Structure 1
Amino acid sequence: MKKRFIAGAVCPKCGVMDKILNYQDEEKNYRECVACGYKDEILIRPVIKELETRVNRTEEEMQSQTQVIQFPPKE
């Protein structure tokens, strides 16, 4: 079982910062305060969908949305 500290996390019981450990036991995730001994189960929700940006779109998708604009010649 690998335990990791959560940077910047504050214990909900004693209020001390940077004393919270996160670890997984079988299929459940837990957080535990090393300062006061507080322990509870946390629910980690999976990311549902990545936001669409120009970085994660395929070349075909970008080309289908590209429009050619022609400007009138200068007089």
Structure 2
Amino acid sequence: MSVIKRFVAGAVCPRCGEMDTIRVYRNEIREYRECVKCDYVDGQNLDGSPEEAELETRVNKQQPKQAEPKPDPNPAAQPLMFVPNPGQKKKE
């Protein structure tokens, strides 16, 4: 069986942004689209099954849960607020 590649009128390449450079073809399992200008290739399964698992990187890796902060050992302590001395004049 020979593969028939067809251009898609008005389609814009997601990589280079050129119009009318995308062609589509398929085999028994997947459908592909490719750009003839920048060699962009993308595919999807015809039956709707999910793609292969994405490689784990630091960007898409699940972050470990942060430990909850420890309770304050002295809950009666209050913060100090420093205010300027009312007897001093402000410098201008």
Q: Name the TM tier (shorter chain).
A: 0.5 to 0.7
Of the candidates 16, 19, 30, which is equivalent to residue 17 of structure 1?
A: 19
Question: Structure 2 matches for 1:55-66, cutoff 5 A?
Answer: none
Gapped runs of 5+ residues in structure 1? 46-75
Moved over 6 A (4+): none
CA separation in 2, counterparts of 1:13 and 1:43?
21
More helix by share: 1
More strand by share: 1
Change (3 A) 1:27 1:4: same
Identity, % of aligned pairs?
53
CA separation in 1, counterparts of 2:23 and 2:38?
12
For the 8 Å contact 1:31–1:42, the answer to whether it is kept is no
- Backbone CA RMSD of aligned residues: 2.0
Q: Which residue of 1 aligns with 2:74?
A: none
Size of the aligned set, in residue pairs, is 46
CA separation in 2, counterparts of 1:28 and 1:44?
5
Gapped runs of 5+ residues in structure 2? 48-92
Q: Rg larger in 1 or in 2? A: 2
